[in-house]
Chain A
């Protein structure tokens, strides 16, 4: 029986992305020194994992357990003795003898600046974790000046790579722009995008293999886009919503949530979360149903659930409107 379980059925698509593997007892361990304590950690672990084993809470933005680390946000950087620069904890693997400082002045400085650079250019109002980090590192984004004006619709999408209008410096340039609403299921508010690449990874080989979106542009003009910025209905999007599932800032949001927030009726304190199994097919993905006043307002899926690792399809993610309609009828 166990042999049968090991043999993959060729008809079942095998996910190409990394599947998190729990460290097993048989892994060799290496000794590193982390914040003064010499500890043994499993070979192949990242500095982030090593820190977590010691109870060290390293901030992360672009990292997610079910995606390949891209180490682009640089909030998780730590000091590695002997290294000219700081190193990203999320992707740097442990090596025997490493001496790591996770809370030195140098580390705190970079984390503070990363937060300030982001918060001065991006709307982080729907990223609660971000606010916690801001107070932990005493970030003051206003140091770069008052916020600059928003871009007109399409302006950032049509910027030429390698060119920009010279700023006068009186305000801090932002990525602010109108929300893109082109379908009934979710909205894209790129004023809130910190360019963590997670949605692109989830749309691509790490989960969905749909490739509807990619990073386009360059430098401060870099952005998440479909080809030629065609609308989602014209793109390859299959509305699995896995991009929303991984978005850390609310840039990608259920239209239901977006509309309720706009109407002032979104109230997380009044919401319950209930885990259930998706009723649609035989895969058996776990759904976390978010309900407010007995109406479903959105559906997520826990990352640590090994059927789908937090990813869903359009039915599990969005196929609950009829439940609310029933309630409306009551």
Chain B
């Protein structure tokens, strides 16, 4: 490809960082897929991606600079404009909002100036969508670039701690047990180890029952694993509840090479279960991926983890390295003749990359724009090849199916929602965290399990399933938490977000934040979502300020029309559900008008 470059050159530091990265790449083969990792390298080393640095990495990867710029400019954690080296991303999303996010933002502004300003000092701060640390709200992520780069997730965050971290004084990590109120309790299956064992030790994992399922799997053979997972009636835990066996069967039918992707890009506001699993039991995910790769005949696996999860990424990298040392990942796994390796890819701040085809584009070095379906990833997926893509929690259920047997697994929960389930409980509850329960537990029981309501103790609404889910009211507390049970009341289990709001919460502000979220996170590709999310936000502003065009009824009808076109005509699930929670709130809850 005959590429054209501007005259901008990298600094010596940028050049050294890029050359170092390029020298570690495998020889030959298409290099475009290394674009996002290369952009991460520059961002980490310089704190932003300069024109000279972009030119240099584009020369090395053979990517046109206009396209690379379009990719860099897609991600919120990358900056194509010069900025201070230390940046605090402060969550002001719905989970942190009732937990003091706004006063934290005010304190940041008092010290560092307005959000996003780059006043020339060594550090700056920005507002951020949900950081996936809702159980430790309010949350912040501090990223420091340079020779000694660091990334630190902080929660609960105070301005003093965040400012300290910006200056290089990182607070101690509280330990994952703090996010797992049930840690160590008897009877846990998915959370049997997390919070109880050293997540960096392969020995500890093995002593706690790790790799039993893998050894069993290698003996059983691919066909038998596939049939167990199918008869266990395991369905996807990422939000869409698609039967895992059906997905696997579709890929098994297709010719090799095939790929396995673990979707660890959970970014749905209120969702943090996969992060806690990866931080607390990272070996379990590696073991699960090897089993899934074996069962589906995949030759390589990828974990795509959201960029806001530095600790989970470190833990996974460590787990993968230890497994390779022990011959449990890589060539000829445990002497079985089966070879399979996993590569970890980090996102860079884009909710849309949790959409499976956007995720594949992101890995391939393109903008995280969802692809048109059909063809589905099972036929045309990563690098155009048949691809299995499963969520973290889905995969971690696979060893469980093998050790307990499909029949026993399917006897947990209900007929249509089988197995144990993780729930992300945050907001106004006494003990927020990740909880494991059998499908079928009611919403009321789940809130009680989390210590009951906090705040005023008087429930106003519960957000079920995340920002793409639905609000339910105090009358809906007896809904069984199953896919079919939530559907029956017009809600969804989604990513198992349970976020109660007490009567002190001002819901119109929560709805506006949700609208703002979808506007910010729309990839911008299709018209209904790109412009619809803007019109939805504008309209909610008018409703809240009571400065309506026509009557309130006209506005509510127009909002429904915007929701309808996004649901009917958008390309992907983001647009399809961008109005769900908002419309559910308007339909079910008595919303106050903003005080004038």
Tell whether A226 is near chain B: CB-to-CB under 8 Å. yes
Are A163 and B126 CB-contacts (below 8 A) given A215-B367, A220-B522, A227-B65? yes
B contact residues around A220 at 8 Å (CB):
519, 522, 524, 530-531, 533-534
- Among A91, A172, A225, the residue within 8 A (CB) of B372 is A91
- B21 nearest CB across to chain A (Å): 20
Interface string of A197-238 (1 = CB under 8 A from B): 000000000000111111111111110011110100011100
B contact residues around A211 at 8 Å (CB):
1, 3, 64, 66-67
Q: Is the CB of B531 within 8 A of A85?
A: no
Interface string of A164-175 (1 = CB under 8 A from B): 101111101100
- Among A106, A172, A217, the residue within 8 A (CB) of B73 is A217
Minimal Cβ-Cβ distance residue in B for A73: B527
Tell whether A71 is near chain B: CB-to-CB under 8 Å. yes
Q: Is the CB of B51 within 8 A of A214?
A: no
C-alpha spacing A168/B542, complex, angstroms: 7
Tell whether B151 is near chain A: CB-to-CB under 8 Å. no
C-alpha spacing A217/B372, complex, angstroms: 20
- A84 nearest CB across to chain B (Å): 8
Tell whether B589 is near chain A: CB-to-CB under 8 Å. no
- A113 nearest CB across to chain B (Å): 4
Tell whether B576 is near chain A: CB-to-CB under 8 Å. yes
C-alpha spacing A217/B569, complex, angstroms: 22
B contact residues around A222 at 8 Å (CB):
523-525, 530
C-alpha spacing A74/B3, complex, angstroms: 33
Q: Is the CB of A113 within 8 A of B571?
A: no
C-alpha spacing A218/B352, complex, angstroms: 10
B contact residues around A120 at 8 Å (CB):
531, 535
- A207 nearest CB across to chain B (Å): 15
Tell whether A50 is near chain B: CB-to-CB under 8 Å. no
Residues in B517-560 with C-beta less than 8 Å from chain A:
519-528, 530-535, 537-542, 545, 547, 549, 558
Q: Is the CB of A113 within 8 A of B562?
A: yes
Interface string of A149-160 (1 = CB under 8 A from B): 000000000101
Q: Is the CB of A72 within 8 A of B64?
A: no
Tell whether A136 is near chain B: CB-to-CB under 8 Å. no
Tell whether B42 is near chain A: CB-to-CB under 8 Å. no
Minimal Cβ-Cβ distance residue in B for A160: B116
Q: Is the CB of A227 within 8 A of B535?
A: no
Q: Is the CB of B66 within 8 A of A235?
A: yes
A contact residues around B519 at 8 Å (CB):
164, 219-220
- Quick one: which of A143, A217, A225, A228 has the most chain B CB within 10 A? A228
- B224 nearest CB across to chain A (Å): 34
Q: Is the CB of B526 within 8 A of A74?
A: yes
Contact size range, B: 35 or more
Q: How many residues of A contact B (CB 8 A)?
A: 60
C-alpha spacing A92/B373, complex, angstroms: 9
Q: Is the CB of B4 within 8 A of A235?
A: yes
B contact residues around A228 at 8 Å (CB):
6, 51, 54, 69, 80
Q: Is the CB of A109 within 8 A of B558?
A: no
Residues in A41-62 with C-beta less than 8 Å from chain B:
none
Are A226 and B534 CB-contacts (below 8 A) given A143-B558, A162-B129? no
Tell whether B490 is near chain A: CB-to-CB under 8 Å. no
Tell whether A253 is near chain B: CB-to-CB under 8 Å. no
- B467 nearest CB across to chain A (Å): 14
Are A167 and B541 CB-contacts (below 8 A) given A106-B568, A220-B531? yes
Tell whether B565 is near chain A: CB-to-CB under 8 Å. yes
Q: Is the CB of A161 within 8 A of B75?
A: yes
Minimal Cβ-Cβ distance residue in A for B81: A158
C-alpha spacing A167/B68, complex, angstroms: 30
C-alpha spacing A251/B69, complex, angstroms: 22
Tell whether B127 is near chain A: CB-to-CB under 8 Å. yes
Residues in A84-102 with C-beta less than 8 Å from chain B:
85-86, 88, 91-92
Q: Is the CB of A160 within 8 A of B76?
A: yes
Minimal Cβ-Cβ distance residue in B for A106: B568
- A83 nearest CB across to chain B (Å): 10
- Among A74, A162, A169, the residue within 8 A (CB) of B569 is A74
Q: Is the CB of B520 within 8 A of A113?
A: no
Tell whether B74 is near chain A: CB-to-CB under 8 Å. yes
Q: Is the CB of B538 within 8 A of A167?
A: yes
- A231 nearest CB across to chain B (Å): 10
C-alpha spacing A72/B526, complex, angstroms: 4
Q: Is the CB of B533 within 8 A of A88?
A: no
- Among A109, A121, A225, the residue within 8 A (CB) of B534 is A121
Measuring CB to CB, which residues of chain B are less than 8 angstroms from any residue of chain A? 1, 3-4, 6, 51, 54, 64-70, 73-76, 79-81, 116, 126-127, 129, 349-350, 367, 372, 374, 512, 516, 519-528, 530-535, 537-542, 545, 547, 549, 558, 561-562, 564-565, 567-571, 576
| Given A71-B571, A114-B569; 18 other pairs, CB 8 A cutoff | A74-B528, A74-B571, A114-B528, A117-B531, A145-B549, A158-B81, A161-B74, A162-B129, A169-B540, A172-B538, A210-B4, A211-B64, A218-B521, A218-B524, A220-B519, A220-B533, A225-B73, A227-B66
Could you write out 14 A-B pairs with CB less than 8 Å apart? A71-B372, A71-B526, A85-B576, A109-B564, A114-B565, A144-B539, A144-B558, A145-B538, A160-B81, A162-B521, A170-B547, A218-B520, A220-B522, A228-B80
Measuring CB to CB, which residues of chain A are less than 8 angstroms from any residue of chain B? 71-75, 77, 85-86, 88, 91-92, 106, 109-110, 113-114, 117-118, 120-121, 143-145, 158, 160-164, 166-170, 172-173, 194-195, 209-222, 225-228, 230, 234-236
- Give the 4 A-B residue pairs with the shortest CB-CB distance, closest first: A222-B524, A169-B541, A211-B64, A162-B76
